[in-house]
Amino acid sequence: MARMTRRRMCGALFLGAIVSVTLLHGWWALHTTQARRMEAWQQRLRRWCIDHLQMAAAAQRMELCRDGVQFEQLALYQAGRKQPAAHVHRLRLARDAENQWTIEVDYPQLTSDMLAHGAVALCRQMEQGQIPWQGNVHIRVKHATLNGGSRKFSFVHAACRFDANKTSPSLSIWCTPDGAPDDHTLEIQLTRDQNADFGLLKCTIDTRGRWFPVWLASAWLPHIAMMGNDCEFQGVIRSTIVSGGWQIESLTGSFRNVDLHRLVTEQFPHHMISGSAELRVENMRCVDGRLCECRGRLVVEKGVVSSSLLEAASRFLHWELDKSQNLEDRVEFRAMDVSFTLQGSNLIISGNGKDSVILWRGDAPLARDDGSVVPVVNLIRVLVPQSVHQVPATRQTAALASILPVPDLVAEQSPNRPAPPAIRLGKLPDGVVP
């Protein structure tokens, strides 16, 4: 082999070795960098979920993108629970040149408890000024499913925008239910006023004419579950959150498919009423969870009511019953139509029928109102008429008294019920063993 040929071969082998080593080193450096980036993203995700949701996060697969990262089969776990509270098929995070984040969430599934947990955590942080994101954020959700035991509710798509304004950061959410047109979108607005002396968070919920099941809110409003599994709501709610206290500034809307048996009979079994009702509410206000003002109308097409409940309503709400009708233990009625006004501690109930009729039995009026104003506490006395105090100390009554504007419970004193004698301490007589 000629010398020139041997030199060329040696040069080629040397050059190939250098290129191979360079490529191997570059591949190793790139692989190491990607591994570090992936580990950094995983740590950021876990840290964010712990700090802002108090939940653990785990993804089966992740992939780095040119402008962000993508997680697949992501699960969120609450402390002490093995089953995930939320599952996301795909989560993609990307940031543009203006430092704005875009988050795409595909096919998330979460429980009603998780929905309440996340909403409470988000409201608490916004109220305290601990904003969970830096910069503006846009979130797009595709086909979300909410699970409430055996019940499910789906949104075909949803969008969320967070504006990181220094004086009044705001969060806007739009959700379109499955099968609804685009103009029937649930809208939620959260805005924090940082110029106030204390954390003030304003919240507006507008169903925009669409009916939504009330069980979606039962996880953080347990009393609303008493309205029944099929109860739905449409309307507008405006509220404020101050130092953890929830105040409803205005609620105007309607509840349909209200289960009266679940609402009344199951809570106060010595009375009975059944039927499906529609409750229309105007300008309802609540302060610290207590109802202080409300106007509305209750309509029931047909149902059954116990005579004991009618007699209690006659005694405490001043309903005028038709004494000519024989009232059995269970009375079937054709319709009930009543309006009510609650102002402070006073309650006015009026029938919407001719001559103020409240209740019809067939074609004959069964009950009508006399136009009087009664104290709100009388409504509790109707449900538990065997009271020897202002209201009896039962679990159901305590829950109702915590919502209605009733005075503090103080035992009545009368000649038949004198004040208890004072207790005096002293020596026991001789021969008396304690």
Q: Which tens digits make up the pLDDT trace of 308-322?
A: 999 999 999 999 998
Q: What is the pTM of this model?
A: 0.77
pLDDT at 298: 95
Mean pLDDT over each residue of the chain, to the nearest integer: 79
pLDDT at 6: 66
CA distance 385 to 397: 11
* 278-294 mean pLDDT: 88
DSSP string, 366-392: EEEE---EEETHHHHHHHSTT-SSSS-
Q: Which long-range contacts (CB under 8 A, 24 or more apart) does 62-67 make?
A: 62/38, 64/34, 64/37, 64/38, 65/92, 65/94, 67/94, 67/95, 67/96
* pLDDT tier at 34, thresholds 50, 70, 90: low
List the chain domain ranges.
252-408
The per-residue pLDDT for range 357-394, each reduced to its tens digit, is 999 988 889 999 888 899 988 888 888 755 443 444 45
The per-residue pLDDT for range 163-221, each reduced to its tens digit, is 876 667 788 888 888 877 766 678 988 887 766 555 578 889 999 888 999 988 877 77
- Is residue 396's pLDDT more than 80? no
- Is residue 256's pLDDT more than 90? yes
